[in-house]
Amino acid sequence: MAIAQSSSQPLKRTHQAPTTRRQLTDQQVGRLLVMPALIFAILVTQAPFILTIWYSLQRWNLNRPERRAFVGIDNYVYLLTQDASTRAAVANTVVFVVGAVVASMALGLLYAELVNRRFPGRGIVRTLLITPFLIMPAAAALTWKNQMLNPNYGVVDWVIDVIFPGNPGPSWLEGLPMVSVIAVVVWRWAPFMMLILLAGMQSISEEVREAARVDGATGWREFRDITLPHLYRFMQLGGLLGTVFIVQEIDPIFMMTQGGPGDATTTLPYRVYELARQSFDVGRGAALGVIVVLMSIVVITLLVRLLDRMLEI
């Protein structure tokens, strides 16, 4: 605090004070202010990750602690070559994340296009569209599982039956488990995409649109030639942010399918949970955690680069 006092000098002298000194003190103050948050973040997120790496090199099952031993990369080798559930989980994670991100982007684009025009009650419709994102993920998953997708009493099958009479809908959670889980995730994340894309659309100047319309651009061409190219960067941002957030979505899987039937909806984060909390296998759970982080680093690096560019700091 005392460092900041150096600026409390009479007006005349501040001008003469060497600028280097002023910058130095500012930097020092800045460093002091940053430290508490930085230390906290390192302690709570980095220290456990170093432990994860350490544990991943050990044979350690909490049920048999006496057999704990250093085994090098055995856990990794086992997971990647012998564990069928983990191999299924790799494929499932790709399907889950790509499916959910692409579909929520498409739906979010529709939402954004709809509420980007003026019509009576636009604010209310926007609020209705955003609400799924605010719903507690666990509650959303339960509502969808029971009331929307249940084979006997679910609203979705009833609607299908009304539109195509005599054509029983699929039994969602049994027959199309991955589609069901993705649907719930898309329902929650499309509003997020909408908000990002809407911000992008609203930054397109009205003159550009008018000019295009004077040139005779139709609605579809205006969308394709003006809206979409302008939105490209916002879509990139939405896609990357969606990927890092959706890959961690574990509540709907836990609530709706428990990773099943079989391994049909077991994603990598869910498999980590299974190994660590159901099999009490600290070593293998940790090894898979490291694998998940390594895979995420690619996306995170791309995302950080994009953010850097967008912020133009």
Residues 140-169 that bind other proteins (CB under 8 A): 140, 142-148, 150, 152-153, 155, 158, 162
Chain residues 172-201 in contact with other proteins, contact rule CB under 8 A: 187, 190-192, 195-196, 199-200
Is 2 or 84 the residue whose CB approaches other proteins more closely?
2
Residue 14 interacts with other proteins (CB under 8 A): yes or no: yes
Q: Does 260 bind other proteins (CB under 8 A)?
A: no
Q: Give residues 41-80 in contact with other proteins (rule: CB under 8 A).
A: 41, 44-46, 48-49, 51-52, 55, 65, 68
Q: Give me the least distance between CB of 22 and other proteins, in Å please.
A: 9
Q: Minimal distance in Å, beta carbon 180 to other proteins? A: 13
Is residue 229 a contact point for other proteins (CB under 8 A)?
A: no
Q: Which of residues 108-137 bind other proteins (CB under 8 A)?
A: 110-111, 114-122, 124-137
Contact between 30 and other proteins by CB under 8 A: the answer reads yes
250: contact with other proteins by CB under 8 A? yes
Cβ(263)–Cβ(85) below 8 Å: yes
**Between residues 179 and 300, which has the closer beta carbon with respect to other proteins?**
300
At a CB cut-off of 8 Å and minimum separation 6, what does 58 contact?
Answer: 68, 69, 70, 71, 75, 282, 283
